[in-house]
Amino acid sequence: MRELIFLEPVVKKLIWGKEYWTVSAHESGDCLVRGGTYDGLHLSQLWSDHKEIFGVETDGDFPFIVKVIDARDPLSIQVHPDNEYASKTENGASGKTECWYVMDCDRDASIIIGHKAESRQEAARMIEEGRWDDLLREIPVKKGDFFQITPGTVHAIKQNTMIMEIQQSSDVTYRLYDYGRVRNGEPRALHVDKSLDVMRIPHTDAGCYTNGVKGRLVSCRYYDVDRYDIAGSRDFEKSDKFMIISVLEGEGGIDGRKIKAGESFIVSGGYGDFTIFGSLSVMVTRLPKLYGGLEAGGTKMVCALGYADGTIEDKISFPTTTPEKSIPRIIEYFKDKEICSLGIGSFGPVDVNPDSESYGNILDSPKLAWQHYPLKKVLEDALCVPIKVDTDVNGSCLGEMTFGCAEGMDNVGYVTIGTGIGAGMAVNGQLVHGMGHPEFGHILVSRIEGDDYKGKCPFHPTCFESLASGPAIEERWGKKAEELSDRPEVWEMEADYIAQGLMAMVLTISPRKIILGGGVMHQQQLFPLIRKKLKEKLAGYIHTRELDDIDDYVVPASLDDEQGIKGAVQLGVLAEIESK
């Protein structure tokens, strides 16, 4: 279907200025098609009766609303619920995630994003006492700024600001404060209790994930938004699914139609390659891509579908047995799910070198059934999507670096203490590979005086894994690690070996943060012991801001045990980018 859909904006006059709903099929403002084959139809009709234009099959509502917001006065201070809260509280409605591009504003303009309350009680008190200046976090803005506003983010556009907004098709807004304004003699309704329910407290900025895509403004569960600055002309690749193009600045043309700042239109799915001419900046909104993630662990396989912001849409897991049994289940799960790529974090040793003949093969694994198994090739043949493979620990490290407590850090270590010991590491923002991949579990440690346990590793009697893995603890003390919580001497010794391992890492890759995961680290009492011993062993030799705040330096994984699978999804994102 080759059609450009131009729409008549729905204009809303509001207490503070005007809103132009330029692309909307929402019942509160359903745009009419202007010109072309479908002249005069509502967008909602087009969406329900002519799915072929959009290249998607879904019973759901049209997924986006695009608005231009022209604020003369400040908008009310508001917050949106997430899907779960909205569905429960607002009769099955969806929540609202939105993003803002600042098209124009006064030189000294500002907006409100977030608040300064530390607790719900404190927020409630400040609201009750009307201490808005103490509560609200106001930040300066300028033309070209971009903000992702996730549910729970307190926000408000202020006066003399023009914004292009893309949002989930929903109208659920909780108003926290309206500057005491009245309309037709009445104040507009406030929803303080619901606002307090859904506010993110304390405030944290919403992750604005771009996942390394050039020109991307944001990727999330609801949309991918990219910006293109065009001087002369720019070619766009065809897409099976529709996209919305919004002109942010300047003017130009597409296939004989003139387009100018503030306008948005729909390019049909299957439109084919096209070119935009002129001197302009455009924003392109697309449906988000779905990625596959596989965490191939020694004990279990986790398969998941996810988005580029780390949202896991669906997940299953089953025990790792033999390839004959496990692989068909993996294929069964992913086929027909329309994933655009797959990321795999695998148990090792595994070939992680993309230039190698055996990239993605399991190597000389103690798991005999998997020795030399061509994991990547088999899945690539079955699923026909790009695949990227790394170690499970590098996957977890990447998950924490992209979505977790190590977000944006250059050097990071992720150490797992479980059946084995291994570490994923990043240096200068890149996961460490080299001739193979790091085998951090096998660095040597010094045997503690009085420990006469022979060691678990068949290669190295006194390597880190040999003396400190879960099975080593079990063999040394005659009981499973999880049953030894009440034996301080066990954890005193364990913490010493772990601190020795971490010291080696601190001294080699100089990580900004060390994250500890794996079954053994469920023993929470290990953390303070490890931190103390690491400090003692370093003996004041190095001084850094990070080490000074050791409680925030050696930390547990931050993603509810999803660091591995989220990292695998991110490997999928990278697979897709690299396949271009």
The residues binding ligand ADP (CB under 6 A) are 297-299, 418-420, 470-471, 474, 480-482, 518-520, 522-523
Residue 443 CB, shortest distance to Zn ion, in Å, is: 9
Residue 391: CB partners within 8 Å, gap ≥ 6?
345, 346, 347, 348, 350, 352, 422, 424, 437
In the complex with ligand ADP, the residue whose CB is nearer, 70 or 295, is 295
Return the one option of Zn ion, ligand ADP, none that residue 219 interacts with (CB less than 5 to 8 A, by type): none
Residue 345 or residue 518: which is nearer to ligand ADP going by CB?
A: 518
Residue nearest ligand ADP (C-beta atom): 470
7/463 with CB nearer Zn ion: 463
313-319 contacts: CB < 8 A, separation 24 or more? 313/221, 315/565
Contact 373, 554 (CB under 8 A): no
Q: Give the shortest CB-269-to-ligand ADP separation in angstroms.
A: 42
The whole-angstrom separation of Cα 136 and Cα 126 is 10
Q: How many CA atoms, within 13 angstroms, populate the side-chain half-sphere of residue 3?
A: 19
Residue closer to ligand ADP by CB (options 299, 322) is 299
Tell me which of ligand ADP, Zn ion, none is bound by residue 481, counting a contact when its beta carbon lies within the kind-specific cut-off of 5 to 8 angstroms.
Answer: ligand ADP
Under a CB-based contact definition with an 8 Å cutoff, are residues 116 and 203 in contact?
yes
Residues 377 and 342 sit within 8 Å (Cβ to Cβ): no
The one of ligand ADP, Zn ion, none whose footprint includes residue 460, by CB under 5 to 8 A per kind, is: Zn ion
Residue 445 and residue 464 in contact, taking contact as beta carbons nearer than 8 Å: yes
d(CA 439, CA 441): 6
* Residue pointed to by tokens 């709903």: 21
Backbone phi, psi, residue 311, to 5° = -65, 130
Q: Which is nearer to ligand ADP, 428 or 524 (CB)?
A: 524
Cα–Cα distance, 44 to 279 (Å, whole number): 32
- Choose from ligand ADP, Zn ion, none: what does 253 bind? Cβ within 5-8 Å by kind: none
Closer CB to Zn ion, 243 or 520, in the complex: 520
Footprint on this chain of Zn ion (rule: CB under 5 A): 442, 457, 459-460, 463
Residue 195 has what DSSP assignment?
A: H
User: Quick one: 18 or 447, whose CB is closer to Zn ion?
Assistant: 447
What minimum distance in Å lies between the beta carbon of 333 and ligand ADP? 20
- Please choose which of Zn ion, ligand ADP, none residue 500 contacts, taking the beta carbon within 5 to 8 angstroms, the exact cut-off set by kind: none
Least Å distance between CB 518 and Zn ion? Answer: 16
Q: Residue 352 contacts by C-beta under 8 Å, 6 or more apart in sequence? A: 359, 389, 390, 391, 394, 433, 436, 437
**Least gap, CB of 363 to Zn ion (angstroms):** 16
User: Binds 457, which of Zn ion, ligand ADP, none (CB < 5 to 8 A, cut-off by type)?
Assistant: Zn ion
Q: How far is the CB of 442 from Zn ion (least distance, A)?
A: 4
CB of 515 to ligand ADP, least distance (A): 14
297 binds, among Zn ion, ligand ADP, none (CB under 5 to 8 A by kind): ligand ADP
Return the one option of ligand ADP, Zn ion, none that residue 442 interacts with (CB less than 5 to 8 A, by type). Answer: Zn ion
Question: Quick one: 86 or 493, whose CB is closer to Zn ion?
Answer: 493
Minimum gap (Å) between residue 390 Cβ and ligand ADP: 16
Among ligand ADP, Zn ion, none, the one that 520 touches (CB under a kind-dependent 5 to 8 A) is ligand ADP
C-alpha 100, offset from chain centre: 18
CA–CA separation, 148 vs 267, rounded Å? 24
* Cβ-based nearer residue to ligand ADP, 87 or 317: 317
Smallest separation, CB 556 to ligand ADP (Å): 13
3-state secondary structure labels for all residues of 452-493: CCCCCCCCCCCEHHHHHCHHHHHHHHCCCHHHCCCCHHHHHH
Taking the complex as a whole, how short is the minimal distance between the CB of residue 423 and Zn ion, in angstroms? 13
464 is written with which tokens? 């880190």
SS3 364: coil
Query: Taking CB within 5 to 8 Å according to partner kind, which of Zn ion, ligand ADP, none is near residue 463?
Result: Zn ion
